[in-house]
Structure 1
Amino acid sequence: MNDTIDETVDWRGEQVDCRACRHQDMLSAGKCRLSHACVNDRYARRIDRFFNWNPLLANDYLRHEHFEVRAIAAKHAAVFLLVPLLDDPEETVRWNAARRLPKKHILKLRHDPHREVRIRIVTLLDDSDLVPMLQDEDYYVRQVIARRLAPNLLEWMVGDPEPEVRRVVAQRAEHDVLMRMMTDTEARVRLEVAQRLAPHHLARMSQDEDWRVRHEAASRIDLDLLAQLAEDEDEMVRETARKRLAEGRSENEQYRS
């Protein structure tokens, strides 16, 4: 997309001048190209292409003034030079360094001030290393954790204050945790629970205050427990229950005949 842009300016907005560039000798060798592969250009795609063509130069640019240069250089530089970048003021630089470093170096980014860094860090850590992040101030960080954490550890998140986090827990948790979540205060969470419970466990949810939960129960609950739902106050719940009861009676008649 950046290649369609005609301008060739640096990150300060000044015109790129190949004659003043330290790499001007590379131009004739085809190792860089104005408006296409240039470390001085302000457009990330052109910087990225420059380092793809010349990865051995990345070490020299880890302290460049333009954060895009530092971030892209971090993708190619020697790993042993990346640790200082975890303290870079730009989150993109910190993340590009973190994704290549051993886990022991990136644990401190669990408390990074930028939510995007913390979200991405979750994908690099093991369950035990995620525990300190269960109280993260950003609900989406916790939601990502709930998607990644092993199902047998999700009971730690049953009491999360954000319903969207608890919904993810309900989608992945083991049976014992699901049973505890049947009385969650949020109907959206209880619906997730109802959709995963076996039919013979839906009796309690057939009396739920939310029609969507009762409708799920009416759709799958054992036939001998459908009578109450056939008289439900909600039309969709009643119709679903009565239809299943009628189909059940029809099957029984066919069986007897």
Structure 2
Amino acid sequence: MEQIQNLTIDGKMQLAEQGRDKDLDMLVNDESYYVRRVVAIQGRNQDLDILVKDESGDVRCEVATHGRDQDLDVLVNDKDWEVRREVAKHGRNKDLDVLVNDENWAVRREVAVQGRDKDLDILVNDKDWAVRREVAVQGRDQDLDILVNDKVWDVRYEVAKQGRDKDLDILVNDKVWDVRYEVAKQGRDQDLDILVNDENWVVRCEVARQGRDKDLDILVNDNDSGVRHTVARYGREKDLDILVNDEDVIVLAGLILHRRSKDIEKVKTRIKNGEFNNIPSRDEKMTLDNIKNIIKEFKNKEKEKDDDFER
């Protein structure tokens, strides 16, 4: 016993992790909650019987993770919200009946995660948007009918992810670009027809990623380099033929990944002619260096092929 008491906290924690009964019998009452928490992790019934009433919320939370009914019966009313949230994760009906009205939003959100209909009926109108967003994640039609008009865009974003046609019909014109971006990801033709001309470049990038020819025909000439980069990454031959002359190295970085010989030669010549000598930003200079490395790698491989042929 004296030897154990002389150990550092880290030493005691390591000892507890070994799970030997005679050590746990002593360490369950250790003065450090770090040590007692490790004891709780071991999950011995006799230890949990003691630690369920521990002064440390971290220890009680660890007790809750084991999901013993007698512990959850106590901890459902714990003063620390982290403990109550852990109780909710076990999904016992009698606990959820209490915690659906918990004062802490994180606990109520965990109740929503459990997906009980009667809880979602309440939480769809929760005062906290994070709870309502989790309700949207559950994807019940009656909830989405309400949340599609939620005042917080994060909630509407989650509604868009569910991909219901009637929601997308509304959200394609949402005032927040993040929501319209998620609509674009769903790939409906009627939405892409609108969003190809969206004011936000991130939305137009997602339209380009969908790869419809009629969108790429427009976006290859987009005024934003990020959009043109996305078009280049898609790799249509006729787009690459245009973008090889682009003035932005960000675009060329997407184009060069396809390693077309004629593009390699064209970009190499442009670099040699000094077209990019006055690049202002450090990031663009790094991008140009990456392009040069790809060109060099390509040339080396071509040389190796020639050498192999000659041999």
**TM over 0.5, yes or no?**
yes
Q: 1:130 to 1:182 in 2, by over 3 A?
A: same
2:191 corresponds to which letter in structure 1?
Answer: V
For 1:151 and 1:161, how far apart are their aligned partners in 2? 18
193 and 152 in structure 1: CA distance in 2 versus 1, 3 angstrom threshold: farther
C-alpha offsets along residues 106-156 of structure 1, whole Å, 9 cap, x if unaligned?
233123222332232222232452232123333333333333334785333
Which position in structure 2 is the counterpart of 1:203? 217
- Tell me the residue number matched to 1:42: 56
Normalised to the residue count of structure 2, the TM-score between the two structures is 0.56
Partner of 1:154: 168
TM-score between both structures, scaled by the size of structure 1: 0.66
**Structure showing the higher helix proportion among its residues:** 2
1:166 is matched with which residue? 180
Aligned counterpart for 1:134 among listed residues 148, 170, 185: 148
Structure 1: stretches of 5+ with no match in the other structure = 10-27, 248-257
Distance apart, 1:229 and its partner CA: 5.2
Letter in 2 for 1:220: G
Structure 1 residues 123 and 237 mapped into 2: Cα distance closer, same or farther (>3 Å)? Answer: closer
> Relative contact order (C-alpha < 8 Å, sep 6+): which is higher?
1
SS at match of 2:159: helix
User: For residue 86 of structure 1, what is the aligned residue in structure 2?
Assistant: 100
CA distance in 2, matches of 1:228, 1:164: 30
Three-state SS of the structure 2 residue aligned to 1:171 is: helix
Output the CA distance in 1 between the equivalents of 2:65 and 2:224: 57
Secondary structure at 1:111 match in 2: coil
* Pair 1:69–1:192, CA change in 2 (3 A): closer
> When the two structures are aligned, how many residues end up with a matched partner?
223
Q: CA deviation at 1:157?
A: 1.5
Displacement of 1:69 after TM fit? Answer: 4.2
Deviation (angstroms), 1:160: 1.8
Percentage of matched positions with identical amino acids: 24
Q: Which amino acid aligns with 1:174?
A: R
Identify unmatched segments of 5+ residues in structure 2: 1-11, 14-29, 35-43, 264-311
2:116 to 102, 107, 117: 102
